[in-house]
Amino acid sequence: MIIPYNSSLQKATFFLTGFQGLEDLHGWISIPFCSIYLTVIVGNLTILHVIHTDVTLHKPMYYFLAMLSLTDLGLCLSTLPTVLGIFWFEVREIGIPACFTQLFFIHALSLVESSVLLSMSIDRYVAICNPLRYSTVLTPARIVKMGLSTVLRSALLILPLPFLLKRFQYCRSHVLAHAYCLHLEIMKLACSSIIVNHIYGLFVVVCTVGVDSLLIFLSYTLILRTVLSIASHQERLRALSTCVSHICVVLLFYIPMIGLSLVHRFGEHLPRIVHILMSYVYLLVPPLMNPIVYSIKTNQIRQCIIKKLEFIKPLRCFQQD
């Protein structure tokens, strides 16, 4: 891709990249991406609708699931305009304010998702290790406070990033390797020292994802110890079955994140397309798979969705008649 130099343009915009070298196939490549985005939106809206309309799902576990679906929707919508803009209309330019805004939402929502997964693990810990206090510990007011603190923590930690990037002069190429804006990639285009950004970025990751993953591991260690102390084998399986969906979602979030980090650190010799695909896997696979996992593995969610579908069929037949 050749971009003519223009000093005024270079100061005001970045240039996004789709699949470099495959520009002629962007129309075809857009088909699976459109399918993924559509599935993410429909799947998460379905989860939200079912939880909102079914009174039996008005419980802490499902409130946290609703938070997860909202986060996944936000993460999906934050990348959708630029990704499809490139594939459909070859719109590569993005203004620096718009780029930094997108960057803020992508990183903040990723941290929110990590925090929501921690909240869900706390929910499972209380439900299994201290079931008699479940309703008194996880009250609606406390759940609201947990949700607000999750959003506030993520927003406050990510908010300095756009301002740290804004102080730089970008004298190098303004071409980004992805179809969206990421902090790590933009700061590498700066022509001055980026040590502060490196240190602060590492601090944010350790304080959020690092602490969250450690606490999730600790909560499941305590859950496993409690489950193993249960005499009945059937009761053990019943207790563990309530955690299966959450464990799958945790793995779907952390495995792509670890894979992307390893590719960035040790995969310099790998083809560029591997880096691009891993970034899409990290951003799109969790929002895509989370509703599917909960629809399949959680009996209450599955039954509610089936009831909704059974209710729609007679309505369609009635309309045709």
- Per-residue pLDDT tens over the stretch 214-262: 999 999 999 999 988 886 888 888 888 889 999 999 999 999 988 888 8
- Residues 66-93 pLDDT 10s: 999 999 999 999 999 999 999 998 889 9
For 19, 22, 25, 302, the CA distances from 28, given in Å and listed in that order, are 12, 10, 5, 33
| pLDDT above 80: residue 317 | no
pLDDT band at 269 (very low <50, low <70, confident <90, very high): confident
| Type of residue found at 218 | L
In terms of phi and psi (left: phi > 0; alpha: psi -120 to 50; beta: otherwise), the region of 85 is: alpha
State the residue for tokens 């594939």.
Answer: 87
- Residues 196-216 pLDDT 10s: 999 999 999 999 999 999 999
pLDDT band at 177 (very low <50, low <70, confident <90, very high): confident
Give the separation between CA 78 and CA 18, rounded to whole angstroms.
Answer: 16
Structure confidence at residue 313 (pLDDT): 56
Structure confidence at residue 15 (pLDDT): 93
How many whole angstroms from its chain centre is CA 119? 15
Q: What percent of the chain has pLDDT over 90?
A: 62
| Exposure b/e, 117-126, CB count within 10 A at least 16 = b | bbbbbbbbbb
